[in-house]
Amino acid sequence: MRRCAAILLAAVLLCRVTSAEAAEKGQILRAGDLLAQPFIDAAKSGPVTANQPVTILERRGAWASVEAGSTKGWVRLLNLRLEAGAARPGATRPGGIASLRTGSSGRTATTGIKGMDEEDIRNATPDYQELELLGTLAVTADDARATAQKAALKENTVAYLDKGRSRK
């Protein structure tokens, strides 16, 4: 019985060490505050300093839950720099496009996230599974108009630019 308990305890400790080693590491780019939730208007959970090392615990849209010393909180991915080679296998680096909730209003915006360099772009490959998922999110023009009418939005037509022409 004691031997089984010792083996179980060793397995639990080994799993903790393995998961801690697999966590992403990074640095805060600019001094600021960690937030209690991944929203710009969330309560502050503690300050962080520029170049402070952090462990990335979770990602959600354009936000990352981090541990900075004994403080945990959320920070925008734009304010993080990953350590070279620290990304978990299969993890998305802070680069690309993300949809994010902009505050307690629940509105959503889509933004480009910095962090992709020339090598990332050169080595990029299409993710056909994600493309298929994107196709399932499409709505008909009539459904879009009905939703817009419920929100009291007005339709606005914007002309396409001719190729090679700018708005100036």
> Can you give the residue ranges of every domain in the chain?
2-150
- Long-range CB pairs of 114-118, under 8 A, 24+ apart, other chains included: 114/78, 115/77, 115/82
CATH number of 2-150: 2.30.30.40
Cβ atoms 66, 99 nearer than 8 A: no
137: left (phi over 0), alpha (psi -120 to 50) or beta: alpha
Distance CA 72, CA 47 (A): 10
Note the pLDDT of residue 37.
94
Q: What number of CA atoms fall less than 13 Å from residue 132's CA on the CB side?
A: 3
Confidence of residue 48 (pLDDT cuts 50, 70, 90): very high
Higher model confidence: residue 162 or residue 49? Answer: 49
Global confidence as pTM = 0.45
E-strand ranges in 69-136 read 71-76, 80-82, 96-101, 108-113
Environment class of 77 (CB within 10 Å of its CB; exposed 0-12, middle 13-18, buried 19+): buried
Residue pLDDT, tens place only, 80-116? 888 765 444 444 444 444 444 445 555 555 455 555 6
Q: Which residues 6+ apart lie within 8 Å of 139 measured at CB?
A: 147
